[in-house]
Chains A and B, each alone.
Chain A
Amino acid sequence: MRWRPYGEQAALLDCASLEQMSAARAALADAAVEGVVELVPGARTLLVVEEPGSRALETARTVLAEAELSRPPPEIPREVTLDVHYDGADLALVASAAGLAEDEVVELHTGAAYTVAFTGFAPGFGYLTGLPAQLQQPRLDSPRTRVPAGSVAIAGEYAGVYPRPSPGGWRLLGHTDATLFDAGAERPALFEPGVRVRFRSV
């Protein structure tokens, strides 16, 4: 792991793997370091932003130097199961690319346990790890100009769900009626880093 300074009040922790990043994120979240204003995971990095005048970055370094990061985080903040209608526009494409039948794709997708690794792209959009290797396929050559809200999709090593209508290049397996982001709710995002996710076919 290596800290890279980022502007005046932040540092980016470069990790060897997504697993190491997730463990570092969980350790820092657990320590609830005073003066940390943002803790933002990426695919291999963790950004820590401190309040001006605080010594939060220094404390964060100490916490991580002493943390045991080789084990997965002991506590999972939450588990959610999403009901999915597997009627996505790319289900047939994904099946043929993987050399599987469509119901085998559904079986693989619903059989796996996923974890929200990091977010971005739009409020409430989570990058989920845990996608079975047979389903790891590249983005579409040409992104769609509009992907409907609730679309359940895959791209590369990630699974995800579009929180609202937007352009997008991920392969669509189906859709869910669940609300992924509601700014007015007590917990605005269904997916936040560390949350465990499963998909159920309905």
Chain B
Amino acid sequence: MRALEIVETGALTLVQDLGRPGYAHLGVPPSGALDTAALRLANRLVGNAEDAAGIETVLGGLAVRATESCTAAVTGPPVPVTVDGRAVGSHAPVPVRAGQRLAIGTPATGLRCYLAVSGGLAVEPVLGSRSRDVLSGLGPEPLEPGMSVPLGPPTGVPAGADVLPPSPAPAELVVPVLLGPRDDWFTDAAAGLSVWWTITAESNRVGLRLDGPPLRRARTAELPSEAVLTGAIQVPPDGRPILFLADHPTTGGYPVAATVRRTSLSALAQARPGTSIRFRLSSRAGNG
């Protein structure tokens, strides 16, 4: 059987596809790759459908061996990639022969690298997705050295080298947001969010935790639990926002001051702890 043997893993190495939307009313988070643009690109490079399952690894460090010849691609931030020790580069389709070892180094910037392999990872789907959800524990267990992951049959043709060069993850992010749904619970949500915040080390796939001057509440009442979305900026009583990512809880009891535009989610997925971030008001009709 075609399989990928896991030789070494990074800080957190998970199987991810585009997640399991549509089950929030049952309490199931959407999950899925945080940098969806990077996973889609990796899949296109190896000739997979964009929603095929690949591997998301934090700060590189992943090494795998394929049992049969395949095409692989690594995306995300620019990162050293080797096949049997020979540098091959990221963001390009790489032929890997049976038994060869493909290794991902440590990216100089950014956080999450994606490995796609022709045929995609064929672990058993859960509620229509192969994504590991760290909040609810749904989906395949985190990958560990010694594990073997089945691969599906290759279907498409790997892409040519028509790809834009990867750009390093910036040290500062300015993220467009749409106010609401609960901006009226704060004295001036737009102004409060426009200052520089720092992404803290407590951040994970559930959300980015931000440190900075606390947002001030106009209302002190307790908010009855309500649904939250990926990209929602929820503000607990201490005034320090949590920006929800794909493994967020489906409902929450704190007001959401604003919601980031979906096009910013990939950049947020690559933001390391310590990154400075501020939010810029965006109009609902426009694209800015």
Q: Which residues of A contact B (CB under 8 A)?
A: 4-12, 37-47, 49, 118-127, 181, 183-184, 188-189, 192-193
A-B residue pair count with CB separations less than 8 angstroms: 109
Which segment of B44-52, B91-99, B204-212, B227-235 sits at the interface?
B227-235
Find A123's partner among B28, B224, B232, B261 (CB 8 Å cutoff): B28
Q: Which residue of B lies closest to A48 (CB)?
A: B227
A3-B287 Cα distance, complex, nearest whole Å? 22
A43 close to B224 (CB less than 8 A): yes
Within 8 A of A (CB), among B220-240: 224-227, 229, 231-232
Q: Which residue of A lies closest to B231 (CB)?
A: A7
Q: A123-B26, A192-B26 are in contact. List 4 more A-B contacts (CB 8 A).
A: A6-B256, A8-B261, A8-B284, A42-B224
A122-B250 Cα distance, complex, nearest whole Å? 8
A188 close to B249 (CB less than 8 A): no
A40 close to B136 (CB less than 8 A): no
Q: Mark B18-30, 1 if CB is under 8 A from A, else 0.
A: 0001111111100
- B interface residues, tally (CB under 8 Å): 33
Which secondary structure dominates chain B's binding surface?
loop
16 sample A-B contacts, Cβ–Cβ < 8 Å, listed by A number: A4-B180, A4-B181, A6-B229, A6-B256, A37-B21, A39-B25, A40-B250, A44-B224, A44-B226, A45-B226, A120-B249, A122-B27, A123-B27, A183-B127, A188-B23, A192-B25
A118 close to B251 (CB less than 8 A): yes
10 nearest CB pairs, A to B: A120-B251, A42-B226, A43-B224, A47-B227, A7-B259, A4-B181, A40-B227, A119-B27, A189-B26, A45-B226
Q: How far is the CB of A153 from chain B (nearest CB, A)?
A: 16
B261 close to A6 (CB less than 8 A): no
Determine the chain A residues whose CB is within 8 A of the CB of B22 once the complex forms.
Answer: 37-38
Q: Which residue of B lies closest to A190 (CB)?
A: B26
Determine the chain B residues whose CB is within 8 A of the CB of A6 once the complex forms.
Answer: 180-181, 229, 232, 256, 259
> If the complex has contacts A5-B181, A120-B249, are A43 and B127 also in contact, measured as CB distance less than 8 A?
no
> If the complex has contacts A5-B181, A44-B226, are A119 and B25 also in contact, measured as CB distance less than 8 A?
yes
Q: Which residues of B contact A (CB under 8 A)?
A: 21-28, 126-127, 136, 138, 178, 180-182, 224-227, 229, 231-232, 249-252, 256, 259-262, 284
Q: How far is the CB of A10 from chain B (nearest CB, A)?
A: 6
Find A7's partner among B224, B229, B250 (CB 8 Å cutoff): B229
A126-B251 Cα distance, complex, nearest whole Å? 11
Q: How far is the CB of B1 from chain A (nearest CB, A)?
A: 22
A44-B253 Cα distance, complex, nearest whole Å? 11
B250 close to A120 (CB less than 8 A): yes
B136 close to A122 (CB less than 8 A): yes
A45-B225 Cα distance, complex, nearest whole Å? 8
Find A43's partner among B225, B229, B231, B259 (CB 8 Å cutoff): B225
> If the complex has contacts A184-B126, A189-B27, are A47 and B21 also in contact, measured as CB distance less than 8 A?
no
A39-B21 Cα distance, complex, nearest whole Å? 11
Q: Which residue of B lies closest to A6 (CB)?
A: B181
A45 close to B27 (CB less than 8 A): no
Determine the chain A residues whose CB is within 8 A of the CB of B136 once the complex forms.
Answer: 122-123
Determine the chain B residues whose CB is within 8 A of the CB of A124 once the complex forms.
Answer: 26-27
Determine the chain B residues whose CB is within 8 A of the CB of A41 once the complex forms.
Answer: 25, 227
> If the complex has contacts A4-B180, A6-B259, A119-B250, are A42 and B227 also in contact, measured as CB distance less than 8 A?
yes
Q: How far is the CB of B189 from chain A (nearest CB, A)?
A: 13
A8 close to B21 (CB less than 8 A): no
> If the complex has contacts A40-B25, A120-B225, A121-B249, are A5 and B284 also in contact, measured as CB distance less than 8 A?
yes
A183 close to B227 (CB less than 8 A): no
A44-B27 Cα distance, complex, nearest whole Å? 17
Determine the chain B residues whose CB is within 8 A of the CB of A11 once the complex forms.
Answer: 181
Q: Which residue of A lies closest to B250 (CB)?
A: A120
